[in-house]
Amino acid sequence: MRHFLVLFLFLFIESLLTAQVLPEQPLSGPGGQNYLHENIRVTDRADKADGFWIFEPASPTLDSAHVVVFLHGYGAINPMIYGGWIEHLVKKGNIVVYPRYQKRIFPPGTKRFANRAVTGIHRALDTLRNGNHPIPITRHFSIAGHSYGGALAANLSANHQAYNLPKPVAVLLCSPGTGPFKGAVLDSYEYIPAETKLLIMISEKDKTVGDKLGKKVFDTAKNTPEKYLIEQLQDRRFKDLNIRAGHNESYSFDKRLDYGKTTIVTRRAAKVSRKDAVDYYGYWKLLDALHNCTRNGHDCHYATGNTFEQTFMGYWSDGMPVKPLKIK
Protein backbone atom coordinates (compact mmCIF):
# COMPACT_ATOMS: atom_id res chain seq x y z
CA MET A 1 0.00 0.00 0.00
CA ARG A 2 2.84 2.36 0.90
CA HIS A 3 4.56 1.73 -2.45
CA PHE A 4 1.29 2.39 -4.25
CA LEU A 5 0.86 5.75 -2.50
CA VAL A 6 4.45 6.73 -3.35
CA LEU A 7 3.89 5.80 -6.99
CA PHE A 8 0.59 7.70 -7.09
CA LEU A 9 2.22 10.79 -5.57
CA PHE A 10 5.09 10.58 -8.07
CA LEU A 11 2.72 10.35 -11.04
CA PHE A 12 0.58 13.19 -9.70
CA ILE A 13 3.57 15.51 -9.29
CA GLU A 14 4.88 14.54 -12.72
CA SER A 15 1.51 15.38 -14.30
CA LEU A 16 1.58 18.81 -12.67
CA LEU A 17 5.09 19.46 -13.95
CA THR A 18 4.29 18.37 -17.49
CA ALA A 19 0.82 19.98 -17.80
CA GLN A 20 0.58 22.46 -20.65
CA VAL A 21 -0.62 26.00 -20.04
CA LEU A 22 -1.52 28.89 -22.31
CA PRO A 23 1.10 31.59 -22.92
CA GLU A 24 1.08 34.20 -20.19
CA GLN A 25 1.12 37.97 -20.56
CA PRO A 26 4.69 39.22 -21.09
CA LEU A 27 6.22 41.27 -18.31
CA SER A 28 7.13 44.20 -20.56
CA GLY A 29 6.92 45.55 -24.09
CA PRO A 30 3.82 45.91 -26.29
CA GLY A 31 1.00 43.88 -24.72
CA GLY A 32 3.01 43.56 -21.51
CA GLN A 33 2.15 44.26 -17.89
CA ASN A 34 4.62 47.10 -17.32
CA TYR A 35 1.91 49.52 -16.29
CA LEU A 36 2.39 53.18 -15.42
CA HIS A 37 -0.83 53.62 -13.41
CA GLU A 38 -2.55 51.62 -10.70
CA ASN A 39 -6.15 52.72 -11.17
CA ILE A 40 -8.60 54.19 -13.65
CA ARG A 41 -11.12 56.99 -13.31
CA VAL A 42 -14.50 56.66 -15.02
CA THR A 43 -16.83 59.34 -16.37
CA ASP A 44 -20.26 57.91 -17.27
CA ARG A 45 -22.36 59.93 -19.73
CA ALA A 46 -23.89 56.93 -21.47
CA ASP A 47 -27.57 57.38 -20.68
CA LYS A 48 -28.44 58.15 -24.33
CA ALA A 49 -27.87 56.29 -27.60
CA ASP A 50 -25.12 58.77 -28.50
CA GLY A 51 -23.61 58.77 -25.01
CA PHE A 52 -20.13 57.80 -23.93
CA TRP A 53 -17.82 56.62 -21.19
CA ILE A 54 -14.38 58.09 -20.52
CA PHE A 55 -11.70 56.00 -18.83
CA GLU A 56 -8.59 57.88 -17.77
CA PRO A 57 -5.40 57.03 -15.88
CA ALA A 58 -5.22 57.50 -12.12
CA SER A 59 -2.67 56.81 -9.40
CA PRO A 60 -0.90 58.84 -10.59
CA THR A 61 -3.07 61.27 -12.53
CA LEU A 62 -1.78 63.02 -15.64
CA ASP A 63 -1.87 66.60 -16.90
CA SER A 64 -2.40 65.34 -20.47
CA ALA A 65 -2.79 62.00 -22.23
CA HIS A 66 -3.30 60.54 -25.70
CA VAL A 67 -6.83 59.62 -26.76
CA VAL A 68 -7.90 56.17 -27.96
CA VAL A 69 -11.45 55.76 -29.30
CA PHE A 70 -12.79 52.24 -28.67
CA LEU A 71 -15.86 51.27 -30.73
CA HIS A 72 -17.84 48.32 -29.40
CA GLY A 73 -19.45 45.53 -31.40
CA TYR A 74 -23.18 45.26 -32.16
CA GLY A 75 -25.05 45.11 -28.86
CA ALA A 76 -21.84 45.16 -26.81
CA ILE A 77 -22.90 48.36 -25.08
CA ASN A 78 -21.47 47.53 -21.65
CA PRO A 79 -17.71 48.33 -21.42
CA MET A 80 -17.12 45.31 -19.19
CA ILE A 81 -17.23 43.12 -22.31
CA TYR A 82 -13.83 44.58 -23.26
CA GLY A 83 -12.92 45.51 -19.68
CA GLY A 84 -9.53 43.84 -19.51
CA TRP A 85 -8.34 45.53 -22.70
CA ILE A 86 -9.71 48.93 -21.66
CA GLU A 87 -7.97 48.66 -18.30
CA HIS A 88 -4.74 47.64 -20.05
CA LEU A 89 -4.87 50.69 -22.35
CA VAL A 90 -5.64 53.11 -19.52
CA LYS A 91 -2.95 51.78 -17.20
CA LYS A 92 -0.50 52.24 -20.07
CA GLY A 93 -1.32 55.95 -19.90
CA ASN A 94 -4.12 56.41 -22.47
CA ILE A 95 -7.50 58.09 -22.20
CA VAL A 96 -10.06 55.66 -23.62
CA VAL A 97 -13.26 57.13 -25.06
CA TYR A 98 -15.97 54.48 -25.40
CA PRO A 99 -18.86 55.98 -27.41
CA ARG A 100 -22.23 54.29 -27.32
CA TYR A 101 -24.10 54.17 -30.63
CA GLN A 102 -27.10 52.01 -29.62
CA LYS A 103 -29.85 52.53 -27.07
CA ARG A 104 -30.86 48.88 -27.31
CA ILE A 105 -30.28 45.99 -29.72
CA PHE A 106 -33.59 46.35 -31.64
CA PRO A 107 -34.61 48.14 -33.76
CA PRO A 108 -31.12 48.39 -35.24
CA GLY A 109 -31.24 51.68 -37.20
CA THR A 110 -27.72 50.98 -38.43
CA LYS A 111 -27.64 54.01 -40.74
CA ARG A 112 -27.51 56.17 -37.62
CA PHE A 113 -24.65 54.32 -35.96
CA ALA A 114 -21.82 56.41 -37.41
CA ASN A 115 -23.40 59.77 -36.56
CA ARG A 116 -24.20 58.61 -33.05
CA ALA A 117 -20.64 57.41 -32.51
CA VAL A 118 -19.26 60.72 -33.82
CA THR A 119 -21.58 62.69 -31.54
CA GLY A 120 -20.41 60.64 -28.56
CA ILE A 121 -16.76 61.25 -29.45
CA HIS A 122 -17.25 65.01 -29.77
CA ARG A 123 -19.15 65.16 -26.49
CA ALA A 124 -16.41 63.17 -24.78
CA LEU A 125 -13.66 65.43 -26.12
CA ASP A 126 -15.61 68.51 -25.01
CA THR A 127 -15.98 66.98 -21.54
CA LEU A 128 -12.24 66.33 -21.36
CA ARG A 129 -11.40 69.87 -22.43
CA ASN A 130 -13.80 71.57 -20.03
CA GLY A 131 -13.51 69.72 -16.77
CA ASN A 132 -11.17 68.24 -14.21
CA HIS A 133 -9.53 65.84 -16.65
CA PRO A 134 -6.18 65.38 -18.36
CA ILE A 135 -5.87 67.54 -21.46
CA PRO A 136 -6.68 65.23 -24.42
CA ILE A 137 -3.84 64.87 -26.92
CA THR A 138 -5.38 64.25 -30.35
CA ARG A 139 -2.48 64.84 -32.73
CA HIS A 140 -1.78 61.08 -32.64
CA PHE A 141 -5.44 60.06 -32.71
CA SER A 142 -6.13 56.35 -32.38
CA ILE A 143 -9.25 54.31 -33.21
CA ALA A 144 -9.92 50.65 -32.48
CA GLY A 145 -13.16 48.80 -33.16
CA HIS A 146 -14.52 45.26 -32.95
CA SER A 147 -17.13 43.72 -35.27
CA TYR A 148 -19.64 46.48 -36.14
CA GLY A 149 -17.30 48.78 -34.27
CA GLY A 150 -14.59 47.79 -36.74
CA ALA A 151 -16.85 48.86 -39.61
CA LEU A 152 -17.46 52.15 -37.82
CA ALA A 153 -13.73 52.64 -37.20
CA ALA A 154 -13.05 52.28 -40.93
CA ASN A 155 -15.92 54.65 -41.76
CA LEU A 156 -14.76 57.32 -39.28
CA SER A 157 -11.18 57.02 -40.49
CA ALA A 158 -12.18 57.56 -44.13
CA ASN A 159 -14.60 60.40 -43.28
CA HIS A 160 -12.72 62.07 -40.43
CA GLN A 161 -12.74 65.45 -42.17
CA ALA A 162 -16.49 65.40 -42.82
CA TYR A 163 -17.07 64.39 -39.20
CA ASN A 164 -14.61 67.05 -37.96
CA LEU A 165 -12.60 64.42 -36.13
CA PRO A 166 -8.83 64.48 -35.62
CA LYS A 167 -6.90 62.62 -38.31
CA PRO A 168 -6.42 59.02 -37.14
CA VAL A 169 -2.82 57.82 -37.38
CA ALA A 170 -3.31 54.45 -35.65
CA VAL A 171 -6.30 52.27 -36.59
CA LEU A 172 -6.98 48.67 -35.57
CA LEU A 173 -10.00 46.79 -36.93
CA CYS A 174 -10.84 43.62 -35.01
CA SER A 175 -12.95 41.09 -36.94
CA PRO A 176 -14.75 43.94 -38.74
CA GLY A 177 -18.18 43.21 -40.18
CA THR A 178 -21.86 44.13 -40.14
CA GLY A 179 -23.62 40.84 -40.82
CA PRO A 180 -26.89 41.40 -42.73
CA PHE A 181 -26.88 45.16 -42.09
CA LYS A 182 -25.45 47.84 -44.39
CA GLY A 183 -25.34 50.95 -42.23
CA ALA A 184 -21.89 52.63 -42.07
CA VAL A 185 -20.40 50.38 -44.78
CA LEU A 186 -18.68 52.40 -47.54
CA ASP A 187 -18.22 51.55 -51.20
CA SER A 188 -14.53 52.39 -50.91
CA TYR A 189 -12.03 53.22 -48.17
CA GLU A 190 -9.69 55.17 -50.43
CA TYR A 191 -9.98 58.25 -48.21
CA ILE A 192 -8.38 56.64 -45.18
CA PRO A 193 -5.39 58.99 -44.79
CA ALA A 194 -2.02 58.15 -46.27
CA GLU A 195 -0.45 58.80 -42.84
CA THR A 196 -2.62 56.19 -41.14
CA LYS A 197 -1.07 52.93 -40.03
CA LEU A 198 -3.94 50.51 -40.60
CA LEU A 199 -4.11 47.00 -39.13
CA ILE A 200 -7.04 44.73 -39.99
CA MET A 201 -7.25 41.55 -37.91
CA ILE A 202 -9.50 38.80 -39.22
CA SER A 203 -10.07 35.43 -37.55
CA GLU A 204 -9.65 32.07 -39.25
CA LYS A 205 -12.81 30.56 -37.72
CA ASP A 206 -15.05 33.64 -37.76
CA LYS A 207 -18.53 32.27 -38.50
CA THR A 208 -20.31 35.52 -37.57
CA VAL A 209 -19.13 38.05 -40.17
CA GLY A 210 -16.24 36.27 -41.89
CA ASP A 211 -13.52 38.25 -43.63
CA LYS A 212 -15.47 40.02 -46.39
CA LEU A 213 -15.41 43.54 -44.96
CA GLY A 214 -11.85 43.23 -43.68
CA LYS A 215 -10.64 42.32 -47.16
CA LYS A 216 -12.72 45.08 -48.72
CA VAL A 217 -11.17 47.72 -46.48
CA PHE A 218 -7.70 46.37 -47.21
CA ASP A 219 -8.22 46.24 -50.97
CA THR A 220 -9.86 49.67 -51.35
CA ALA A 221 -7.68 51.69 -48.94
CA LYS A 222 -5.48 52.37 -51.95
CA ASN A 223 -3.97 55.59 -50.66
CA THR A 224 -2.86 54.08 -47.33
CA PRO A 225 0.52 52.44 -47.92
CA GLU A 226 1.08 51.11 -44.39
CA LYS A 227 -1.79 48.66 -44.17
CA TYR A 228 -1.72 45.04 -43.09
CA LEU A 229 -4.36 42.32 -43.34
CA ILE A 230 -3.65 40.00 -40.43
CA GLU A 231 -5.18 36.56 -39.98
CA GLN A 232 -5.22 35.04 -36.53
CA LEU A 233 -5.12 31.25 -36.63
CA GLN A 234 -6.58 28.56 -34.44
CA ASP A 235 -3.98 26.43 -32.67
CA ARG A 236 -5.37 23.11 -31.41
CA ARG A 237 -2.02 21.60 -30.54
CA PHE A 238 -3.31 20.03 -27.32
CA LYS A 239 -6.55 18.14 -26.91
CA ASP A 240 -7.86 20.06 -23.89
CA LEU A 241 -6.06 23.35 -24.48
CA ASN A 242 -6.24 25.52 -27.57
CA ILE A 243 -5.93 29.00 -29.03
CA ARG A 244 -9.29 29.87 -30.56
CA ALA A 245 -9.83 32.01 -33.67
CA GLY A 246 -13.50 32.94 -33.55
CA HIS A 247 -15.28 36.25 -33.98
CA ASN A 248 -15.10 37.42 -30.37
CA GLU A 249 -11.47 36.82 -29.42
CA SER A 250 -11.07 40.53 -28.57
CA TYR A 251 -13.53 40.17 -25.68
CA SER A 252 -11.83 40.49 -22.28
CA PHE A 253 -14.76 40.39 -19.86
CA ASP A 254 -14.22 42.18 -16.54
CA LYS A 255 -17.07 42.87 -14.09
CA ARG A 256 -15.15 45.77 -12.56
CA LEU A 257 -16.22 47.83 -15.58
CA ASP A 258 -19.88 46.80 -15.36
CA TYR A 259 -22.18 49.79 -15.94
CA GLY A 260 -25.51 48.02 -16.00
CA LYS A 261 -26.21 47.82 -19.73
CA THR A 262 -27.15 44.14 -19.98
CA THR A 263 -28.04 42.55 -23.32
CA ILE A 264 -27.92 39.06 -24.78
CA VAL A 265 -24.45 40.00 -26.03
CA THR A 266 -23.31 40.77 -22.47
CA ARG A 267 -24.48 37.39 -21.24
CA ARG A 268 -22.81 35.59 -24.12
CA ALA A 269 -19.57 37.48 -23.58
CA ALA A 270 -19.49 36.36 -19.96
CA LYS A 271 -19.51 32.75 -21.18
CA VAL A 272 -17.06 32.86 -24.09
CA SER A 273 -14.56 35.55 -23.12
CA ARG A 274 -11.09 34.70 -21.88
CA LYS A 275 -7.75 36.50 -21.72
CA ASP A 276 -5.05 34.59 -23.54
CA ALA A 277 -2.31 34.82 -26.16
CA VAL A 278 -4.74 36.31 -28.70
CA ASP A 279 -5.04 39.31 -26.39
CA TYR A 280 -1.48 39.66 -25.14
CA TYR A 281 0.33 38.88 -28.40
CA GLY A 282 -2.49 39.81 -30.78
CA TYR A 283 -4.82 42.74 -30.20
CA TRP A 284 -3.12 44.28 -27.15
CA LYS A 285 0.39 43.97 -28.57
CA LEU A 286 -0.54 45.35 -31.98
CA LEU A 287 -2.39 48.40 -30.65
CA ASP A 288 0.30 49.18 -28.06
CA ALA A 289 2.94 48.96 -30.76
CA LEU A 290 0.90 51.17 -33.11
CA HIS A 291 0.74 53.79 -30.37
CA ASN A 292 4.45 53.66 -29.64
CA CYS A 293 5.29 53.74 -33.33
CA THR A 294 3.06 56.67 -34.28
CA ARG A 295 3.84 58.71 -31.16
CA ASN A 296 7.59 58.33 -30.76
CA GLY A 297 8.87 55.99 -33.48
CA HIS A 298 9.42 53.06 -31.11
CA ASP A 299 8.30 49.41 -31.53
CA CYS A 300 7.26 49.84 -35.18
CA HIS A 301 8.57 46.33 -35.90
CA TYR A 302 5.97 44.95 -33.47
CA ALA A 303 3.15 46.58 -35.44
CA THR A 304 4.26 46.60 -39.08
CA GLY A 305 6.60 45.00 -41.58
CA ASN A 306 5.60 41.32 -41.38
CA THR A 307 8.40 40.81 -38.87
CA PHE A 308 8.91 38.05 -36.34
CA GLU A 309 7.85 40.46 -33.59
CA GLN A 310 4.63 41.37 -35.39
CA THR A 311 3.58 37.77 -36.10
CA PHE A 312 4.83 36.19 -32.83
CA MET A 313 2.05 34.78 -30.63
CA GLY A 314 4.01 33.47 -27.66
CA TYR A 315 5.24 30.06 -26.59
CA TRP A 316 3.43 27.14 -25.07
CA SER A 317 4.77 26.09 -21.69
CA ASP A 318 6.81 23.32 -23.34
CA GLY A 319 8.68 25.88 -25.46
CA MET A 320 6.83 25.35 -28.74
CA PRO A 321 5.59 28.53 -30.46
CA VAL A 322 1.91 29.25 -30.92
CA LYS A 323 0.92 29.46 -34.59
CA PRO A 324 2.03 32.92 -35.75
CA LEU A 325 -0.17 35.56 -37.32
CA LYS A 326 -0.42 35.52 -41.12
CA ILE A 327 0.28 38.88 -42.73
CA LYS A 328 -0.73 40.21 -46.13
Q: So where are the chain's domains?
A: 24-327
Give all strands (DSSP E) within the chain, no chain letters: 39-45, 52-58, 64-71, 95-99, 135-146, 168-174, 197-203, 227-232, 235-238, 241-243, 326-327
The pTM score is 0.93
CA pair distance 66, 69, nearest whole angstrom: 10
**Positions of the chain with pLDDT lower than 70, given as ranges:** 1-19
Answer CATH for 24-327 from 3.30.300.30, 3.30.565.10, 3.30.950.10, 3.40.50.1820: 3.40.50.1820
> What pLDDT, on the 0 to 100 scale, is given for residue 15?
40
In terms of phi and psi (left: phi > 0; alpha: psi -120 to 50; beta: otherwise), the region of 231 is beta
User: Cβ–Cβ contacts within 10 Å for residue 183, how many?
Assistant: 17
Q: Which amino acid is at 72?
A: H
pLDDT of residue 205: 97
Task: Say what the pLDDT of residue 2 is.
Answer: 54
What average pLDDT is seen over the chain?
Answer: 93
DSSP state of 23: P
- Which pLDDT score, from 0 to 100, does residue 18 have? 47
